[in-house]
Chain A
Amino acid sequence: MSVLNELKVGETGVLVALDLPESVQNHLMHMGFVPDALVKVLRRAPAGDPTVYGIDGMEIALRHETAGAIRIRPVAATKAAESAEGLALIEASL
């Protein structure tokens, strides 16, 4: 079990839970940050923070401390039944 801000650029994780205030958590979930979603680290801002994450085909930027409150698990431990996109990503990462 780890958190989102520990991933390096190019790595993918599976979202487990958000440890954030309810209003923020709700907002993020409506932007696609729901349990079992695949999150990929796309790039860091020039200053190193915030980081751009790819989720649900969208690009969303979060600061280090917000990403630190998002728990993830490695992709390999995922049930391979998520989606076609998920499968492709898993294959690419293996």
Chain B
Amino acid sequence: MSGCCTPPPFVPPTIPPQNASLRTVVLIGPPNAGKSTLFNRLTGLRQKVANYPGVTVEQHMGLMAGVGREDLTLIDLPGIYSLDPFSEDARVSIDVLRGNMPGTPRPDVVLMVLDSLHLTRQLMLAAPVLALGLPTLVLLNMSDLMEARGGTVDALELARELGTPVAKISAVNGVGLEAVSLFLHSQTPRLGALPLSLPVLGNAASTHAWAANISHLSGYHAPLSAEKSRKLDDVLLHRIWGPLLFMAVVIGVFEVVFSIGQPLSDGFGVILADIANLVRPLIPTGWIQSLLLDGAWKGISSVLVFLPQILLLFLFIGILEDSGYLARAALIADRVMRTIGLNGKAFIPLLSAYACAVPAIMATRTIENKRDRLATILVTPFMTCSARLPVYMLLIAAFIPNTFYLHGFLGLRTIVMLSLYLAGFVGAMTTARLLKSSILKSSDAPFILELPQYRMPTVRSLSLRLIDRAHVFLRQAGTVILCVTLALWVLAHLPVVQGPSGSLSAPELANSLIGRLGHFIEPAIAPLGFNWKIGIGLLSSVLAREVMVSTMGTLYGADADTHAQSLQAALHHDMTMGGALALMIFFAFAMQCTSTMAVVKRETNSWKWPAIQFLYMLVVAWCAAFAVNHIAMAFGG
């Protein structure tokens, strides 16, 4: 869905700070140490958190309202292993930390978040960070988990060794956060006392030796390794069961989206139609009623009905991300990714593109090799994002019979849906192969992937995701889709014509302004099995894919022939089976999303790439739809 990761611009605090020289606090630490979870606790905001390294790829700012310090700005940063940037997201962190990031204030105080489960290695980051000379509080996150697994550390002794305060916390459970308040309260900006001996900076071996020594002196004993994670991996990464389970999970997700989601959506649609019927008598008949109910409401509700299914899909993606399975999927996929010239790491953004391409393109910042990153950005929009779901759902429900195979386990509708997802994936892989063997050729970048331990996703984190997603969806319906449907209604009712009795009335849809526009482009899409009405839908869907559905809703509402019919039934006036299949495949490949084009422009720093991408995907979509329509016609569809 478009617009899902454009947060409102950050407004710096207007309250005069209590201490004029202490305003900005920065969170830093290795990847997947829990910085964003702590950020959400301290600010009361909701940055995305999940269980894999590289979730945060840019800096986020917020006021520390969660601990009553609205006068302080907290900056959350992508995780880093050292102060030598290895990838684009790490460069962001280092620039902010050094005060070299335009638009981001130079930090006054550092909160360093370390994962207590792997403290020795995580302490390596302490050396360069402490050497910055900023007052620093070291937070040993997940200390409850470490102690539960039999690990120990003497925080006081560690503080003495590091020359800076240390506190044990648990960001997930909100334990120990008073240490942060106390530290910020007592902190008068001054140079933090430096540790007695810092290693030679930039030399990884000496830094490691220093970290090992410090962790030894502070009595750190690592907890037992997570046997549960390893046992789970024995199954999930098994030679045979691993890939099979992966397939089963994917098929299962779509079965559930249909078998549970479809009745939910149908029920939701009935409620939305009832609302219109309840309101109808309250609005005077005439063009206002027509505009509001047949134009705007019909258009918006035709998209809104898909909310339950989209939320179900997001629930599954959330479980995959929070449990730590995503990194395993990348490991399984590396072999396939390598044949197309990319590595398994590119698979993580590609998988998250099943939700939305915009954050997925941002997530490519974790890919170290620049050419690999550009190739991944260029193929990401082929992945089936959730905005395509309403279009697929509508067409499948309208045209594909609800038959089942294998004793009811596998539905024909699921098969069609899976084929569309597969088509998008194949489109992405083929394009990547073409790019990597031509203009973006490069030597194989090394694949280095950290596997996080499995964690049980919490109800709180999953429900927050769903609430945020529903919010984005409703906002989109209330802004972009509302405007488009209103504009369409107006264009469908102009120019007004004089009826036989002399009264003014709306023209036949075919003669309206929008009808004429549709007829104008019809020759270009007629070979695909689309008529002028579908053409109007395609034009409006360039803004965002799901607008297609609301457009058809508004058009049919404005047409006397189909006024009283459901959207599914009305579609049969304009399309054969061949046209419907062609339309689905067109949506699988075409780049119809202004938000994605904007983010590609931002990440590649030029309009060249989004323009090439748009044209390329349009050509692929047109050719594929042409082929599908003609094959279907040959079979008598």
Contacts and interface: CB of A to CB of B under 8 A. Distances in A.
B118 A31 contact: no
Interface in A22-41: 23-32, 34-35
Contact of A63 (B121, B204, B238, B334): B334
A21 B435 CA distance: 25
A26 to B, nearest CB: 6
Interface in B414-450: 444, 446-450
B335 A47 contact: yes
B21 to A, nearest CB: 33
Contacts of B225: 54, 57
A66 B368 CA distance: 15
Nearest to A59: B451
A87 interface: no
B159 interface: no
Interface residues of A, number: 34
B121 A32 contact: yes
Contacts of B118: 56-58
A60 interface: yes
B86 A46 contact: no
Interface in A57-88: 57-63, 65-66, 85
A61 B332 contact: no
Contacts, number: 109
Question: Which secondary structure characterizes the binding site on chain B?
Answer: helix
A61 B331 contact: yes
Contacts of A62: 446-448
A45 B448 contact: no
Nearest to B82: A30
A34 B242 CA distance: 31
Given A26-B84, A54-B225, A59 B335 contact: no
B313 interface: no
B167 interface: no
Question: Which secondary structure characterizes the binding site on chain A?
Answer: mixed
Contacts of B240: 46
Contacts of A54: 225
Contacts of A23: 84, 86
Contact of B331 (A25, A35, A52, A56): A52
Contacts of B124: 30
Contact of A45 (B81, B207, B335): B335
A30 to B, nearest CB: 4
B460 interface: no
Contact of A43 (B237, B338, B446): B237
Interface in B221-244: 222, 225, 229-230, 233-234, 237-240, 242-243
A48 B335 CA distance: 9
B99 to A, nearest CB: 23
A34 B222 contact: no
Given A54-B225, A58-B450, A59-B451, A35 B334 contact: no
B117 interface: yes
B206 to A, nearest CB: 10
A39 to B, nearest CB: 13
Given A24-B446, A28-B448, A45 B204 contact: no
B83 to A, nearest CB: 10
A27 B86 contact: yes
A35 B332 CA distance: 29
B204 A50 contact: no
A59 B242 contact: no
Contacts of A20: 446
Nearest to B233: A43
A66 B125 CA distance: 24
Interface string B444-481: 10111111000000000000000000000000000000
Contacts of B450: 31, 58-61
B512 to A, nearest CB: 57
Contact of A60 (B204, B338, B449): B449
A55 to B, nearest CB: 9
Contacts of B2: none
A84 B124 CA distance: 20
Task: Name which of A24, A25, A30, A49 has the most chain B CB atoms within 10 A of its CB.
Answer: A30
B148 interface: no
B531 to A, nearest CB: 47
Given A56-B118, A60-B449, A35 B205 contact: yes
Contact of B332 (A34, A47, A66): A47
B592 interface: no
A65 B449 CA distance: 15
A5 B237 CA distance: 19
Contacts of B344: 50, 61
Interface string B230-270: 10011001111011000000000000000000000000000
B160 interface: no
Contacts of A52: 233, 237, 331, 451
Nearest to A46: B242
Nearest to B87: A27
A71 B22 CA distance: 48
A49 B335 CA distance: 7
B446 A63 contact: yes
22 contacts: A27-B82, A27-B448, A30-B82, A30-B124, A31-B450, A34-B204, A34-B205, A34-B208, A34-B209, A43-B234, A45-B332, A46-B237, A46-B240, A46-B242, A50-B449, A52-B233, A56-B118, A57-B225, A60-B450, A60-B451, A61-B344, A62-B448
Given A24-B448, A50-B334, 9 more contacts: A30-B81, A32-B208, A34-B209, A42-B230, A43-B234, A49-B334, A61-B448, A61-B450, A85-B222
Interface of B: 81-82, 84, 86, 117-118, 120-121, 124-125, 204-205, 207-209, 222, 225, 229-230, 233-234, 237-240, 242-243, 331-332, 334-336, 338, 343-344, 444, 446-451
